[in-house]
């Protein structure tokens, strides 16, 4: 293509340029002399992967040809072309490698009539060294296999090229990306990353590399946050496209680790986008060999690349090459037609007499040719040049072995090797084994790949503004070894974690379907983890175990005999029982005395029996809830009170009727005999028994678990829940109310009949106790134990009130004042005139409650 320059018109690129070394066996070579360009096909000179690789090839050829006994009488030659890092352009350049084969179709090359070869005869290419790029190597391999020309690449790492069915004549001195991908994933595992992104270029190299990385990441249980593509031609992918890639990575901010599988040119543009988007220092780069330690990728972007860890095929420096290269001069290095252009690029000057290019017309100064290449002016040696040298040595050693086998080692080529058969030559290449110029052993793998050996590099800032690539470890035959801890950044040496979510503890549920992105949810004390994905509620009455694997039952609570409150309640009840029994004994022994008779002997014993039952209920209530004890509670709590207050009600009713009748008539009221009183009392008690039986039938007794809250687990009788027990208390409350009313009505009875006064005291106090009890009963719905304890004390206190008020005065007289325990003490003075105006100063009326039933005379 012709360009109009500042000073003259010129063709660019110059497709005819070739580096030629004459020889008996000629190799083709395809190098990446120039980088790609947006509008010029070929861009600037590539100093490391281009010119240095070409010079390494020439240097190794000199090394071989200078050994007279290596290939006796045979010189290795080369025809080297430039592919400008473009697959189509490289394919076009490779056509020169098949011209000799095409001319030889039919068994012989073109010859003159006298049998001599024409002067412009095109040599048959025995093998091709290159191309550097995988995508170009694939195109060239498809062409060369048609002519059975072996090909050895020194930089192509795509796994696709390991397919011997598709590429039967392709070999390489560098290992496949399958191994490189494994090394990169091992680095991810070393950092314990579980969530990473991958950026790869749109080429066979990038896509095949990504495919292998993706597969290995899945096998390692590492999740892929994002997979972004870098277009192969950076000129086509405008800045906005690279910016979008970085933006999408930023949106996956938790994925701090990013695997970058690409070539130096694309990665260089990508790092510029990182800077534009303000993402410097946000990510840790795990890089492929296509850009690691390559100036095009990191120069001018050092801060963005800092901390990167890249995988480089393990290569050692070719002995003597650095000195050789630094001593090259344009005037002496004529075999390399691009060296002057490199000189101009390196020293930023125009070499006198050189052809104009789109690049050197920008330089304002002239080169002297005396400049010196060294590190002080930016020279940097490519780290992987050994693979170029090994490629040349592989061809040379295979030719040497082939010459020995087919020509018997005689001087010069024999007809069996003129021309060289590509299929045979390829087999010799697979079998070749030699020591490199650096002394390392080399042998192709059975599929033609180079041995799996890698160096792990870390791009670090050694001091402010100064950066270097450091070797921190190696990856050999699937084993990663790190000798020096990697450094992230100068101010922050530790590489950040790259995980979507922190690992959940053993007691947390993993919420989310993604295997890497989840939320950790703390299970409450009432939840356990049957699986790792959900907290499940434990049944009421249980809590989760410490490790959340199962539920543990909360110990049941119920009143026990050894509880303090139970001991207090039973102590009070026991004391009451003892006193009640003593009073009963006293009454029984003095049952014929006036005091006992006057108090209603039979009903007194019934009342004492009811009081005894009240005290005894405490022991039933504090027993462990069982079906039997629950049934006893249902019957007993109402029955004991009914017995007490039925007896008291019968007493008060009898007194009231007697004195009410005494005001109106002298006729004796009905049903005031002891027998009648017992029948009335029994009838009142029977009502309670009927109520209890109906209650038992409708709601059978049941001991059950009760949970007032999630931390509670009580064993209770079903009747204790809610207002159940109030059913049993309803009838006794009714009796208490009636008794209280009668106590009020009989409060003005003459003083000799003072039992009515004590009945009044009993009922007033009982009402107070029961009002307090009902309030406490309904306020303790959540604590059945307190409710039961309150019931125990209330029942005992009610019994105690009845015992104290109804029996203490009488026992006091019987024990301490027996002189008052006479019939006269039961008499009351009457008015001077009775109801019928009959003088009766000495008339006596027996107590209205006495057991013999006498009513006046």
Contact call for residues 574 and 583 (beta carbons, < 8 A): no
DSSP type of residue 169: T
Burial 788-809 (b: 16+ CB within 10 A, else e): bbbbbbbbbbbbbbbbebbbeb
How big is the CA angle at 505 (ends 194 and 527), to the nearest 5 degrees?
Answer: 130
Strands 479-482 and 508-511 come out as: unpaired
CB within 8 Å of 536: residues ≥ 6 apart:
527, 528, 529, 530
> Considering only 235-244, 734-743, 810-819, which range has the smallest mean pLDDT?
235-244
Q: Dihedral of the CA atoms 113, 114, 120, 126 (nearest 10)?
A: 100
For residues 271-279, give the mean pLDDT: 94
Q: Which residue has the higher pLDDT, 855 or 522?
A: 522
Question: Which residues make beta-bridge pairs with 474?
Answer: 455, 481
| 239 pLDDT tier (thresholds 50, 70, 90) | confident
Burial class (CB in 10 A: 0-12, 13-18, 19+), 650: buried
Nearest to 850 by CA among 685, 662, 655: 655
DSSP string, 337-401: TTHHHHHHHHHTSBPTTPPP-TTGGG--SB--S----SGGGT----TTHHHHHHHHHHHHHHHHH
| 822 pLDDT tier (thresholds 50, 70, 90) | confident
Q: What is the pLDDT of residues 404-462, one digit of tens each?
A: 999 988 899 999 998 999 999 999 999 999 999 999 999 999 999 999 999 999 999 99
Q: What is the pLDDT of residues 218-236, one digit of tens each?
A: 999 899 999 999 987 544 4
Q: Which residue has the higher pLDDT, 123 or 288?
A: 288
For residues 168-185, give the mean pLDDT: 93
Q: What is the pLDDT of residues 547-587, one digit of tens each?
A: 889 999 999 888 888 889 999 999 999 999 999 999 999 98
Question: Which residues make beta-bridge pairs with 226?
Answer: 197
> Considering only 51-60, 154-163, 326-335, which range has the smallest mean pLDDT?
154-163
Q: What Cα–Cα distance (Å) separates residue 106 from each residue in 102, 305, 457, 527, 768? A: 9, 56, 52, 85, 131
Per-residue confidence (pLDDT) for residue 846, from 0 to 100? 40
CA of residue 746 relative to chain centroid, distance: 81
| 118 pLDDT tier (thresholds 50, 70, 90) | low
Q: 567 by DSSP, 3-state: which? A: helix
For residues 199-211, give the mean pLDDT: 88
- pLDDT > 70? residue 187: yes
Share of the chain above pLDDT 70, in %: 89
- pLDDT > 90? residue 849: no
| 322 pLDDT tier (thresholds 50, 70, 90) | very high
| CA–CA separation, 243 and 389 (whole Å) | 39
Q: Which run of H or of E encompasses 662?
A: helix 627-662
- pLDDT > 80? residue 306: yes
Number of Cα atoms under 13 Å in the Cβ half of residue 679: 7
| CA–CA separation, 386 and 354 (whole Å) | 31
- pLDDT > 60? residue 29: yes
| 750 pLDDT tier (thresholds 50, 70, 90) | low
DSSP type of residue 718: G
Q: Which residue has the higher pLDDT, 794 or 758?
A: 794
Cβ-based neighbour number of residue 236 at 10 Å: 11
| 856 pLDDT tier (thresholds 50, 70, 90) | very low
Q: Which domains does the chain have, with CATH numbers?
A: 17-107+119-174+384-443 (3.40.50.2300), 177-316+453-482 (3.40.50.2300), 337-372 (no CATH), 508-553 (2.10.50.30), 564-823 (1.20.1070.10)
CB within 8 Å of 69: residues ≥ 6 apart:
none
Per-residue confidence (pLDDT) for residue 193, from 0 to 100? 93
Per-residue confidence (pLDDT) for residue 667, from 0 to 100? 65
Burial class (CB in 10 A: 0-12, 13-18, 19+), 670: exposed
| CA–CA separation, 7 and 73 (whole Å) | 49
Q: Dihedrals φ, ψ of 757, to 5°?
A: -65, -40
| CA–CA separation, 215 and 224 (whole Å) | 11
Per-residue confidence (pLDDT) for residue 831, from 0 to 100? 45
Per-residue confidence (pLDDT) for residue 661, from 0 to 100? 63
Per-residue confidence (pLDDT) for residue 171, from 0 to 100? 97
Q: What is the pLDDT of residues 57-103, one digit of tens each?
A: 999 999 999 998 999 999 999 999 999 999 999 999 999 999 988 87
Q: Dihedrals φ, ψ of 754, to 5°?
A: -75, 0
Q: 161 by DSSP, 3-state: which? A: helix
Identify the sign of the CA torsion 460, 452, 233, 85: positive
Round the average pLDDT of the chain to a whole number and report it.
86
Q: What is the pLDDT of residues 122-156, one digit of tens each?
A: 789 999 999 999 889 999 999 999 999 999 999 99
For residues 251-258, give the mean pLDDT: 92
Identify the sign of the CA torsion 50, 287, 447, 214: negative
């Amino acid at each position: 293509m012709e360009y109009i320059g500042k000073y003259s018109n010129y063709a660019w690129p110059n497709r005819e340029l070739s580096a030629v070394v004459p020889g008996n066996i000629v190799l083709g070579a395809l190098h990446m002399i120039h980088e790609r360009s947006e509008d010029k096909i070929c861009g600037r000179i590539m100093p490391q992967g281009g010119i240095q690789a070409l010079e390494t090839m020439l240097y190794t050829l000199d090394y071989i040809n200078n050994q007279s006994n290596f290939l006796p009488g045979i010189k290795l030659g080369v025809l080297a072309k430039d592919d400008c890092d473009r697959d189509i352009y490289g394919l076009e350049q490779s056509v020169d490698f098949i011209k000799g084969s095409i001319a030889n179709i039919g068994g012989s090359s073109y010859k003159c009539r006298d049998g001599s070869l024409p002067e412009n005869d095109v040599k048959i290419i025995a093998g091709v060294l290159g191309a550097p790029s995988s995508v170009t190597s694939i195109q060239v391999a498809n062409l060369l296999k048609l002519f059975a020309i072996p090909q050895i690449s020194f930089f192509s790492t795509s796994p696709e090229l390991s397919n011997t069915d598709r590429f039967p004549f392709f070999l390489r001195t560098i290992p496949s990306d399958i191994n490189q991908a494994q090394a990169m994933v091992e680095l991810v595992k070393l950092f314990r990353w579980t969530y990473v992104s991958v950026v790869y270029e749109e080429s066979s190299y990038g896509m095949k590399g990504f495919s292998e990385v993706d597969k290995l990441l899945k096998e390692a249980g590492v999740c892929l946050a994002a997979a972004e593509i870098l277009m192969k031609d950076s000129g086509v992918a405008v800045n906005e496209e690279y910016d979008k890639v970085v933006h999408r990575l930023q949106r996956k901010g938790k994925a701090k680790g990013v695997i970058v599988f690409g070539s130096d040119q694309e990665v260089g543009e990508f790092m510029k986008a990182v800077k534009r988007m303000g993402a410097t220092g946000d990510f840790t780069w795990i890089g492929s060999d296509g850009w690691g330690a390559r100036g095009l990728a990191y120069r001018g972007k050092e801060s963005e690349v800092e901390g990167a860890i890249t995988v480089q095929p393990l290569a050692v420096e070719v002995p003597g090459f650095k000195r050789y290269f630094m001593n090259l001069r344009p005037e002496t290095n004529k075999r390399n037609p691009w060296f002057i252009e490199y000189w101009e690029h390196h020293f930023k000057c125009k070499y006198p007499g050189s052809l104009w290019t789109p690049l050197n017309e920008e330089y304002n100064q002239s080169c002297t040719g005396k400049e010196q290449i060294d590190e002080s002016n930016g020279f940097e040696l490519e780290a992987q040049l050994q693979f170029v040298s090994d490629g040349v040595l592989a061809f040379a050693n295979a030719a040497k072995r082939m010459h020995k086998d087919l020509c018997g080692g005689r001087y010069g080529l024999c007809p069996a090797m003129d021309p060289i058969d590509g299929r045979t030559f390829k087999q010799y290449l697979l079998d070749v084994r030699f020591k490199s110029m650096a002394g390392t052993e080399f042998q192709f793998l059975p599929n033609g790949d180079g041995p799996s050996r890698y160096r792990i590099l870390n791009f670090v800032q050694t001091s402010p503004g100064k950066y270097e690539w450091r070797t921190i470890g190696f990856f050999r035959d699937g084993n990663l070894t790190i000798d020096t801890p990697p450094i992230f950044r100068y101010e922050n040496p530790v590489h950040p974690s790259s995980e979507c979510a922190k690992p959940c503890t053993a007691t947390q549920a993993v919420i989310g379907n993604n295997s890497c992105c989840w939320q950790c949810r703390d299970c409450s004390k009432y939840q356990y983890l049957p699986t790792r994905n959900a907290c499940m509620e434990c049944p009421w009455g249980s809590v989760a175990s410490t490790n959340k694997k199962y539920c543990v039952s909360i110990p049941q609570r119920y009143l026990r005999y050894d509880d303090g409150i139970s001991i207090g309640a039973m102590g009070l009840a026991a004391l009451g029982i003892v006193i009640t029994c003593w009073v009963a004994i006293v009454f029984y022994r003095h049952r014929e005395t006036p005091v006992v008779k006057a108090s209603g002997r039979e009903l007194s014993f019934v009342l004492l029996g009811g009081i005894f039952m009240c005290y005894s209920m405490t022991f039933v209530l504090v027993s462990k809830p069982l079906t039997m004890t629950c049934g006893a509670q249902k019957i007993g709590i109402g029955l004991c009170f009914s017995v007490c207050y039925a007896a008291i009600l019968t007493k008060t009713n009898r007194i009231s009727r007697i004195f009410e009748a005494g005001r109106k008539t002298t006729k004796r009221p009905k049903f005031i005999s002891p027998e009648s009183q017992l029948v009335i009392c029994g009838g009142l008690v029977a009502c309670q028994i009927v109520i209890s039986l109906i209650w038992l039938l409708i709601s059978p007794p049941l001991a059950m678990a009760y949970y007032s809250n999630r931390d509670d687990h009580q064993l209770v009788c079903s009747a204790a829940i809610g207002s159940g027990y109030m059913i049993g208390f309803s009838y006794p409350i009714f009796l208490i109310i009636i008794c209280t009313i009668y106590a009020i009505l009989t409060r003005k009875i003459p003083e000799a009949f003072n039992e009515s006064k004590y009945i009044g005291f009993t009922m007033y106090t009982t009402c107070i106790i029961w009002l307090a009890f009902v309030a406490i009963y309904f306020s303790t719905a959540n604590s059945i134990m307190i409710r039961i304890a309150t019931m125990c004390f209330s029942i005992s206190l009610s019994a105690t009130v009845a015992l104290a008020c109804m029996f203490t005065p009488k026992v006091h007289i019987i024990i301490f004042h027996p002189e008052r325990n006479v019939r006269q003490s039961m008499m009351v003075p009457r008015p001077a005139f009775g109801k019928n105006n009959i003088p009766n100063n000495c008339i006596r009326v027996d107590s209205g409650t006495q057991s013999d039933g006498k009513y006046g005379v």
